[in-house]
Chains A and B, each alone.
Chain A
Amino acid sequence: DAKTTQPPSMDCAEGRAANLPCNHSTISGNEYVYWYRQIHSQGPQYIIHGLKNNETNEMASLIITEDRKSSTLILPHATLRDTAVYYCIVRNLNRDDKIIFGKGTRLHILP
């Protein structure tokens, strides 16, 4: 079973910030939060990841709550090309790195 829960779909107006939530209430101390997105039926594309601190890169920002039980991916200025399925996953980087994807959030960017 997936270790994360996400809303099945979200809408966001073009040019606005898209905020995608993820619940990972059973996360353990050494598990990272990763975000990927998938456009059509291509291989998922890496967006960002973090452990405890908030992270930012050229694509997005990742906000992790202090208790680490949830996080939010922020796309600061959404464009039509950001329409995709976004996956939030948690990973325990030990020998048995069983990477489980959930169903993700289908993000629709509205013109």
Chain B
Amino acid sequence: DGGITQSPKYLFRKEGQNVTLSCEQNLNHDAMYWYRQDPGQGLRLIYYSQIVNDFQKGDIAEGYSVSREKKESFPLTVTSAQKNPTAFYLCASIPPLDRSRSSGNTIYFGEGSWLTVV
């Protein structure tokens, strides 16, 4: 079945280490997104990519990096420059835009990854 897979679901990081969260989709979606969620808070956009080899910063990109070398993959690296990385991270994707339809395109989410700094 098609979907978005995030891994690992739980990750512990020592201070000063970089870690990479994986996001893979087999839905043939062009656009992919990374969000961060802190307890009791909404989703904040970190980075997004509309097409392979291209990505843009979201609202809280500092301390994070991404790559989009393949359409199906959009890994997020949490660098040591991110001072408070403990959070829940969600990856999302959307299908190619179909302008002929009167309805819009829904958003597909992964199950999320919990990152804890120890």
Contact = CB atoms under 8 A, between A and B. Distances in A.
A97 B58 contact: no
Given A42-B112, A91-B104, A97 B31 contact: yes
Interface string B84-116: 000010101010010100111111011110100
Contact of A99 (B37, B48, B102, B103): B48
Interface string B25-54: 000000101010100011111001010000
Contacts, number: 67
Classify the interface of chain A: helix, strand, loop or mixed.
loop
Contact of B103 (A42, A49, A85, A87): A49
B48 to A, nearest CB: 6
Q: How large is the interface on A (under 10, 10 to 19, 20 to 34, 35 or more residues)?
A: 20 to 34
14 contacts: A34-B104, A42-B112, A43-B92, A43-B109, A43-B110, A44-B43, A49-B104, A49-B106, A51-B104, A97-B50, A97-B94, A98-B56, A99-B33, A103-B41
